[in-house]
Structure 1
Amino acid sequence: MRLSTTSYLVMGMIALRGPSTPYELKRAVSRSVGYFWHFPHAQLYSEPERLADAGLLALDTEDHGRRRKTYSLTSEGRAALRAWLAAPTPEHFEMRDVAELKLFFNEAGSPDDVEKLAREQIRQHESRIAEYEDLVARHGQEQWAEPRMITIELGLEMEHAALRFWTALATDDLDRLRRERAERDPRG
C-alpha cells in the first residue's frame, strides 16, 4: 500500500491526540498543521478508513446513536510513522500560491491588476503575521522548544518574506529587495 503525506498526517495527528473521529481530526488539523499544510479536508474522512483497511489504524464504531467511527494507531501504524519521521526529506520546498500564479500570467492583465493583487497580498500576509504572533502570545515563548510550535516560527519567516516581496512590488521597489537579499546572502 502506498502511503501519502495525508496518510502520515492522519497517523501523526492520531499519535498526538489519541483515538479520534474524522471530525476531531479535521478540527485538530485546522488548529495546527492547517496553517501551513493545505489539502482537501474531505481526505480526513476517507484516509482513516483506508489506513484501517491496511492495518495501520484500528477502528472502533459506536454500537448506537450516530455510530461514530473512532480510529487509533496500531503498532504497525506507529512503526510506519516512526520510519517516515526518521527518513530524509529530499523533496523540494513546495509553495502553491494562487497569487503567484496570477502574477506569472499577468501579461494578459494590466499594471493596475498587479498593484491591486499586491495590495491584497500585503493585507493577507499582515493578517497572517498578526494571527501567528497572537498564537505566540497565547502560548508563550517557552513552548518554542516543541517541534509543533516551532513551525510557527518558520511560518512567520515565510509570511515576512512574502510581505517584503509584495510590498516591494506594490511600491515598484524590487531593486531594493534584490540589494537587501544580496547583502543577507551568506554565500557572498
Structure 2
Amino acid sequence: MPVRLTTASYLVLGLVDMLGEASPYALKQAAADYVAPFWSLPHTQIYVQADKLVESGLLRQDQETDGRRRRILTITEEGREALNSWRADPTAVPVEARDLGLLKLFFGADSKVIGPAQVEHHSQRLAGYEEMKAGGSRMPDGAAATLEFGIRYERALVAFWSTLLEVRKPRSPHKPD
C-alpha cells in the first residue's frame, strides 16, 4: 500500500532536496529559518516525517560511523519523483493567515493598544527579510520569489497597523468669510 504523503511530508522532501543532505536536526533548523515565516510545522513533525519517508523509500538514511553518529538523509529518485509531482500539481487552497493581532482586532481589541506591538513585530520581520535579500547570496528563483512575497506581506501589515494608529486631526468647521 503506498504511503499517504501530507504537506509536512513534502516540506521535508523539499528541504532535503534543497539542502542535498541533512540530519533531522538540520532539517528542523532549515524549516525554522526558511519555511516557518509562511508555513508553520511543529518541529516534532520533522522527525516523524523523516522516519516515515525513510521507511517508505522516499528518503535514504545513512548513519555517521564516528563523532555524533548523526543520521544523514538524502532524497531517493522515488522521493524526487513524488516531490516533482507535488510541485507540478496546480491545486490551490485558501490562505490561512493565523495572525493573533488580527483575531484580537476582529473581536474588538483597541487598535491603539495592540497596534504599536504589531507595527514593531512586523517591522522587525520586514527588516529581517530585507537583510536576507540584501545579503546577496544567490537563491533559487522560488525561494527568491517567496522572500519577495514575505517582504511585501510585512510591508502591507506595517502599513495596515500604522494606518489604524494614525491620529486623525478633528476637522475644523468651515467658517464662512
Same fold (TM over 0.5): yes
> 1:180 is matched with which residue?
none
Instruction: State yes or no: 1:147 paired with 2:142.
Output: yes
> 2:64 is matched with which residue?
62
Instruction: State yes or no: 1:18 paired with 2:15.
Output: no
Larger Rg: 2
| Inter-partner Cα distance in structure 1 for 2:92 and 2:149 | 18
> 2:121 is matched with which residue?
124
Q: Give RMSD over aligned pairs.
A: 2.0
List per-residue Cα deviations over 1:49-101 (Å, max 9, x = no partner): 01111111112123455432111111111110000000003211221111112
Instruction: State yes or no: 1:165 paired with 2:160.
Output: yes
List per-residue Cα deviations over 1:78-132 (Å, max 9, x = no partner): 11000000000321122111111222223xx5x3xx3121111011111111111
Letter of the 1:33 counterpart: V
Instruction: State yes or no: 1:3 paired with 2:11.
Output: no
| Inter-partner Cα distance in structure 2 for 1:151 and 1:172 | 34
SS for the counterpart of 2:135 is helix
SS for the counterpart of 1:131 is helix
Aligned residues between the structures: 166
TM-score when scaled to structure 1?
0.79
| Inter-partner Cα distance in structure 2 for 1:123 and 1:98 | 14
SS for the counterpart of 1:120 is helix
Q: Which of these residues, 90, 93, 105, is aligned with residue 91 of structure 1?
A: 93
| Inter-partner Cα distance in structure 2 for 1:92 and 1:58 | 33
Higher relative contact order by CA 8 Å / sep ≥ 6: 1 or 2?
Answer: 2
- Structure 1 segments, 4+ long, off by >4 Å, are none
Task: Report the structure, 1 or 2, having the larger helix content.
Answer: 1
Comparing 61-70 with 74-83, greater Cα deviation is found at 61-70
List per-residue Cα deviations over 1:12-47 (Å, max 9, x = no partner): 111111121111112222232233222212211221
TM-score when scaled to structure 2?
0.84
> 2:175 is matched with which residue?
none
Identity %: 39
> 1:178 is matched with which residue?
none
SS for the counterpart of 1:71 is strand
Letter of the 1:37 counterpart: W
Mapping for residues 61-80 of structure 1, pairs under 5 Å: 61-63=63-65, 65-80=67-82
Structure 2 segments unaligned to the other structure (5+ residues)? 169-177
| Inter-partner Cα distance in structure 2 for 1:131 and 1:88 | 30
Do the aligned partners of residues 3 and 62 (structure 1) sit closer, same or farther apart at CA in structure 2, a change above 3 Å counting? Answer: same
Is 1:144–1:150's contact at 8 Å kept on the other side of the alignment?
no
